[in-house]
Each structure stands twice: as C-alpha cells, then as structure tokens.
C-alpha cells in the first residue's frame, strides 16, 4: 500500500481496512484478466452511487433554500458523470487504477466513465470503513465546490438574460444601484436595486455586490414572467 500513500494523503482519510481501497481501485478488466479471481470495484460502485445521492441531497437540503425543482437540478449537476470525473481527476485516481492490459492501452485510466465509477467506489469504501460521518467529511468539499460553480454560472446568466431582453427595445437601459450595506466587515451583505430608466424592477441582496446584482436581476426576470 506504500504506492497508494500519496492518494491516501489526498483522500484525507486513513483506512483501517486498506483492502477496501485496493478493491475500489481495481477495475473488472484487471480482476478478470489472465484467470485472476481478484475482487473488483463494481459492487462498491453500486453502493457508492446510493451513498453519493443521499449525502448530496442531505447537503443541499441543509445549505440551500431553493425550491425542490432547483435542488433537483443542482443535485443532478453535482453527481453527474462529468462532476465525478472532475472529482476523480482532483484526486488523481487514474494514476492508481488497476486496469487490464487492453483497457490500459486504450486509455482507460482517463476514460470518464471509469473515473466516475472509481470515485463512487472509493466513496463506498470510505463509507464501509468509517461510516456515514467519514463519507460526508470526504465528499462535502467536492459537492460544496461544484455547487458553488453551478450557482455562480446560474447567477451570471440572470444578468445576461435580463440584458438581452432589455436590448430588444432600443433606447432602454439598465442600471444597478447599491442601496445599502449591513453587517460587520467580515460578514457584510449588500443591497442592490436594478432600474429600468427611473423604475425599480428588481432588488437583491448578497455577500458581494456582484451576487446582489445577480439576485436583483433574478427578481426582475421573475416579475417579467421569465
């Protein structure tokens, strides 16, 4: 397991049963090659998929006050193959996967589906070895980062969409005005209004002026029926 020490360091979790981690990193192509009967990660991946869904749903429910429809979309974004592949890449899982010779030659260590499955298997291994709390501690940083990325992208769209709608009418102009600040320096909240000419069409609040502007644009879009 000495070769896995860099990975263990990145995982931030020390396994009591290190065979679980070895199994999580073993692809079926390796286990079945040349008459081997080694355990592989498909059963762990099956379990990890459910653990992933539960932890993601619990995390988003507790930290995001969005309605059910938006939470569903956000959960899908943080557990999709693309996201899981990114999590696996951050851990450099591909460098530690046990692959059959053919799978290795064909670039299996970089294949998104294999990396995503391996991440789910590692999550399951952490869960089996250390319980739900350990699995949550391992997974939360990935979900938090990806959820923030998704929300930032969504926020940027509010201003863009509103601007595109307004530009359909020549001569009309949007203006964002800072109307107030609340809270101490380390936890400020900014209040912003978005004006169309002299009319307030949306208000928003956020931890930064940019976030407050996006929330104001979001409210304006809702009032306009978008």
Report the first-to-last Cα separation within the chain, whole angstroms: 55
Cα angle value 88/50/33 (rounded, 5°):
60
CB 203 within 8 A of CB 192: yes
120 is catalytic: yes
- Among candidate residues 45, 120, 193, 213, the one labeled active-site is 120
Q: Which of 45, 49, 211, 219 is catalytic?
A: 49
Has 129 been annotated as catalytic? no
Tell me the angle at which helices 112-166 and 42-63 cross, rounded to the nearest 10 degrees.
30
Catalytic residues: 49, 120
């Amino acid at each position: 397991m000495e070769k896995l020490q860099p990975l263990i360091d990145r995982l931030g979790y020390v396994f009591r049963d290190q065979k679980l981690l070895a199994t999580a990193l073993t692809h079926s192509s390796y286990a079945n090659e040349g008459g081997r009967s080694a355990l592989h990660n498909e059963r762990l991946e099956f379990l990890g998929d459910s653990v992933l869904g539960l932890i993601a749903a619990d995390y988003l429910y507790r930290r995001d006050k969005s309605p059910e429809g938006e939470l569903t979309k956000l959960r899908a974004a943080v557990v999709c193959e693309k996201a899981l592949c990114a999590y696996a890449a951050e851990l450099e899982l591909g460098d530690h996967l046990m692959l059959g010779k053919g799978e290795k030659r064909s670039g299996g260590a970089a294949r998104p589906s294999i990396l995503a499955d391996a991440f789910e298997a590692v999550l399951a291994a952490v869960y089996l070895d250390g319980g739900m709390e350990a699995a949550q501690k391992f997974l939360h940083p990935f979900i938090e980062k990806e959820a923030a990325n998704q929300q930032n992208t969504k926020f940027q769209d509010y201003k863009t969409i509103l601007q595109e709608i307004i530009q359909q009418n020549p001569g009309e102009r949007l203006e964002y005005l800072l109307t107030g600040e609340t809270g101490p320096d380390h936890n400020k909240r900014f209040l912003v209004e978005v004006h169309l000419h002299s009319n307030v069409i949306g208000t928003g609040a956020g931890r930064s002026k940019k976030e407050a502007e996006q929330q104001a644009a979001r409210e304006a879009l809702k009032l306009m029926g978008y």
